[in-house]
Structure 1
Amino acid sequence: MLVSAQQQAMILLPKRPGEDPTAEAASGLQSAALQALRDNVQAQASQGSTQVQASIARQATQQVNAATAISDKVDEAFAKTRVQLQTVASSASDEAKTQGSSALDAFKDYMSKTPEERLRDSILEEMGITQEEFEAMPPEKQLAVSQEIAQRMQDKTAMAQVEKDQESRTSGKDPATDMFFASL
């Protein structure tokens, strides 16, 4: 079964005037109704055009006033936000400068210490004692704390040496071999 893809155009022949009396009557009534409607709209337009124009003018001025008020409020809110951001930014930058300088000072202090002083400070921290508290202690107590610090330093040094020896054994390197390669 073949289906044609072409569509056939249907052409309707117009009826000749006078052949269908009902169509002519409907057409006449329709044109009369349209004419009456046009006349009515024109009459209302001529009478109400001044009223409509005045109403449109009032609405336009109200809209302009509302738009101006909104624009003013937006500008005011923007200005307030900008001032707040500037004050927050300036206070934050001041804070950052003070914190940055204190952090920098703390880092410089730490780096200026010898490894022994760093170890001593870490042991004091483990004990929960600050340097100021240590200096404020009576001499007998300072001596006891100093002995404890010396003992812990020896223990940490011994533990570091044991770890180093274990590491060299597990890696299979001989210290003599390392010295030989270092001399090359």
Structure 2
Amino acid sequence: MLVNNNAQALSTVQQLKRPDMDPANAAASALYSGALQVAQQSVTLPAAQKELDKAGDRIDEAFAKTRVHMQAGSARSEFTDYMTKTPAERIRDQLLKERGLTLEELNAMPAEQQQAFAKEVSERFKQQQQQQVAAKTADPQAQAVKETLAAI
């Protein structure tokens, strides 16, 4: 809380609160007193408020820049591509990345290597499903909380 030790301002506020005033004058006096306090605060707060405003502006600007980059850049298209893939395709892409291969290189491999790769993808997919089932059955109450939070 800011304290104004200005004796003139305090005496002005005190003069406005006289008990001999009628209710209308007392109300007007109270309004004037409030306006006076706001005026005094505006004299003492602007430096701090300006810094807060600048910080807020910088944050807003950073978010705006990030949003523009997301919309214009490849990140958005990559995210959209990722989200449209099936879980098996995601696992395939992860395995390709782990091995340093591209999809074209995989397609150029002999059929038996492609089948072995497809088998590994299906095994990982099964493991992932089993982990999800185990997580759901391990603690049904925790899973219910997670689902509720996800729904929100």
TM-score, normalised to structure 2's length? 0.40
Structure possessing the higher radius of gyration over alpha carbons:
1
Q: Which has the higher contact order (CA 8 A, sep 6+)?
A: 2
- What is the TM-score of this pair, normalised by structure 1? 0.34
